[in-house]
Amino acid sequence: MSGVLQVVGMGPGDPDLLTLKAVRLIEAAPVVAFFAKRGRTGHARRIAGDRIDARAELLRFEYPFTTELAVEDPRYLAEIGQFYEGCAAQLAERLAGGDDVALLCEGDPFFYGSAMYLFDRLHREFRTEIVPGVTGMSGCWSAAGIPFTHGDDVLMVLPGTLDRQALASRLATADAAVIMKVGSNLAKIQAVLDDAGLLSRAVYVESGMMPGQRILPLAEMAGQAAPYFSMVLVPGRRRAR
C-alpha cells in the first residue's frame, strides 16, 4: 500500500503555534521533506526543531533561486517547473514504497505555499492529507496588536510584486489590506499607499513571529531595505464600532 502525503502547515514562525495535529504527524513521519533557500536552514525546518524523529529521512528541497530571477523571465517557469518535478519525483518514490511523507510548509500550505505545487503533481496518484496552519498575515497582525477587520470590512490580500497601477486600483476597493512579498517592492508600496492617503495607517512587520521580529510604522521605513519575509498591514476599523 502506498504511503500518505501529509502536507503540514507550520504556522508563521513561532513553534508554539504549531497545531497538535501537525506535531503528531511530524513526530511520527518516517520521511520529512522541506524547502530551503541555498545556504539556509529553511524556515519550516527551523520551526519543526527537534520534533522530527532522529531516525526519519530528511529530504531538503533547495530552491534553484528565490528573488534572483523575475517571474516574468521565460527561464523562471521552465526552471522552477523542473525543480518541482524533481521534488515530486523524490516524494513519489518514497510514497510508492509505502512510507508516509510529512511535507513541511511555513504558514498555511494552500496560501502562497510552495507545497501546493507538489500537491498538484501528486494528489491524483497518492492519498493526501492537508494540515492547515496559522497564516503569516494573522501572525503578523497578532504580533503587532492590530485588530484588523470588523463588521463588513472587505480584506484585500495583495502581492507587492503587482505593478503600481494594479496595486492602487485594488487598494481603492478595500477597507483593509495585507501586502505580502515586500522585499525590493518596498518603495513602490510606500508610494502607492502615500498616494492613496493610507501611509499613516500602514504598519511594517518583518520576520513576524520569528527570531528578529521587527514592527514599526511603514512611514519610518523610508529609504530602507526590506527582506522577502516582510509584510505591510493596512488595518480597517474605519466604520463605527
Per-residue pLDDT of the chain (241 residues; tens, 9 = 90+): 899 999 999 999 999 999 999 999 999 999 999 999 999 999 999 999 999 999 999 999 999 976 666 667 778 788 999 999 999 999 999 999 999 999 999 999 999 999 999 999 999 999 999 999 999 999 999 999 999 999 999 999 999 999 999 999 999 999 999 999 999 999 999 999 999 999 999 999 999 999 999 999 999 999 999 998 799 999 997 666 6
175's grid cell: 477597507
* Residue 183, pLDDT score: 93
Write a three-state SS string for 182-210: CHHHHHHHHHHHHHCCCHHHCEEEECCCC
Q: What is the DSSP letter of 180?
A: E
Among 4, 49, 3, 14, which residue's Cα sits nearest to residue 207? Answer: 14
CB 221 within 8 A of CB 190: yes
Domains of the chain: 5-134 (3.40.1010.10), 137-234 (3.30.950.10)
* Residue 136, pLDDT score: 96
* Residue 76, pLDDT score: 77
Among 229, 240, 235, which residue's Cα sits nearest to residue 217? Answer: 235
* Residue 65, pLDDT score: 76
* Residue 26, pLDDT score: 98
Classify each residue of 183-208 as buried b or exposed e, where b means 16 or more C-beta atoms within 10 Å of its C-beta.
bebbebbbebbeebebbebbbbbbbb
* Residue 70, pLDDT score: 67
Assign residue 119 a region (left: φ > 0; alpha: ψ between -120 and 50; beta: otherwise). alpha
* Residue 125, pLDDT score: 98
Give CA–CA dist 121/82, Å, rounded. 12
